[in-house]
Amino acid sequence: MREYNLNIAGYNIRLESYDDGPELVPDERFHLNIIPRSDYDVRIRVHHGIFRPGEDSERLFVAPYLVEIKGYKLSRCENFWSVYKENGDMLLTTNFPESISNKRATLKFSLTLREWDLYLENAGFETDPLEYPLDGLILYYLTAIKADIMIHASGVYYGGKGYLFSGISGKGKTTMSKLWDNVGAQVIHDDRLIIRNTDGVYRMYNTPVNRNDGPREAPLTKIFFIEHGSENELYPLREASAVSYVVANSIQHNYSPDMIARFLGSVSMMCSKVPIATLSFRPDRSIIEYLLRNE
């Protein structure tokens, strides 16, 4: 197809391809996110072609390609994707490590305008315009524009309350979501969530970065920073401690003081509204009883 809209975390993303672009074939994990609309929060026009940062561009950020093996991060490529600033525009260039062709992309975007352009090299006649890593990166910049928060976390909705469990890999996010799933909770996601503030109410949203569940969301009632333990114990966090935990577990590629200040402001505001605690937990049903008892 030549155009479609996606609802991801409440963001309405429109993708269009004209004569100079490929046929758009969204990956199966996005199928439940396609919505019958033509308005948008951001429109991405997809083109065949080469677009390189100019000599006057300023490189702001470069990310290596890391793979994780048994908890160790190994670098396989020093230049995976990069962000540049050029004449008021932002440019994001990337390779596609999971693609068998030598596909490359440049996304020309703005933090203030809604019209973006995606240039694809060696994409073939048809392609998924949101192939990894573009999916997560586009979502990340949308969170930055909207002052939202993207965080490593699992989230569940149970008894009218939404609980978010955050921590780095291995701390128990997936374990926790499975425990809640076993008692009938709705699992919003088990790895990555977007937190948004709409009219003063915080909600958490899933992302189709790794899963194909379709859009899920729930009100955000409490946040826990988790780790495995021999006993179930929670300790409330406040003020600077709460903010620092959220910041340390959030996904961010902030490359300017203004972006960082804006991000800290969002986190600080959320921490003043949503209760936050550290949680040591036994990986069994007792943690659910413990949390419900401590409501």
b/e map of 20-53 (b: 16 or more CB within 10 Å)?
A: ebbebebeebbeebeeeeeebebbbbbbbeebeb
Interaction between residue 261 and other proteins (CB under 8 A): yes
CA distance 41 to 61: 25
Residue 135 bridge partners (DSSP): none
Nearest approach, Cβ of 272 to other proteins (angstroms)? 7
Residues 6+ apart with CB under 8 A from 146: 11, 196
Q: Which is nearer to other proteins, 52 or 238 (CB)?
A: 238
Nearest approach, Cβ of 274 to other proteins (angstroms)? 13
- Of the candidates 160, 216, 262, 281, the one whose C-alpha atom is nearest the C-alpha of residue 32 is 216
Nearest approach, Cβ of 247 to other proteins (angstroms)? 6
- Here's the x/- map for other proteins, 22-61, by CB under 8 A: it reads as --------------------------------------xx
Q: Binding other proteins by CB under 8 A: which of 57, 95, 241, 278? A: 241
Residues 6+ apart with CB under 8 A from 70: none
Please return the burial class of 262, using the count of CB atoms within 10 Å of its CB with bins 0-12, 13-18 and 19+.
middle
Nearest approach, Cβ of 230 to other proteins (angstroms)? 28
Provide the sign of the torsion angle of the four alpha carbons 41, 45, 46, 50, taken in this order. Answer: negative
Q: Which helix (H) or strand (E) is 8 found in, with range?
A: strand 3-8
Segment contacting other proteins (CB under 8 A): 104-112, 129-137, 196-204, 254-262? 254-262
Gyration radius (Cα) of the chain, Å: 20
Q: Which is nearer to other proteins, 20 or 58 (CB)?
A: 58
Q: Which is nearer to other proteins, 158 or 263 (CB)?
A: 263
Tokens 């969002």, residue located: 266
Segment contacting other proteins (CB under 8 A): 21-29, 36-44, 261-269, 275-283? 261-269
In the range 105-134, which residues lie near other proteins by CB under 8 A? Answer: none
Q: Binding other proteins by CB under 8 A: which of 99, 174, 252, 278? A: 252
Interaction between residue 174 and other proteins (CB under 8 A): no
Tokens 């809209």, residue located: 5
Interaction between residue 101 and other proteins (CB under 8 A): no
Q: Which is nearer to other proteins, 201 or 248 (CB)?
A: 248
Interaction between residue 243 and other proteins (CB under 8 A): yes
Binding site for other proteins (CB under 8 A): 60-61, 238-244, 247-248, 250, 252, 254-257, 260-261, 264-265, 267-268, 271-272
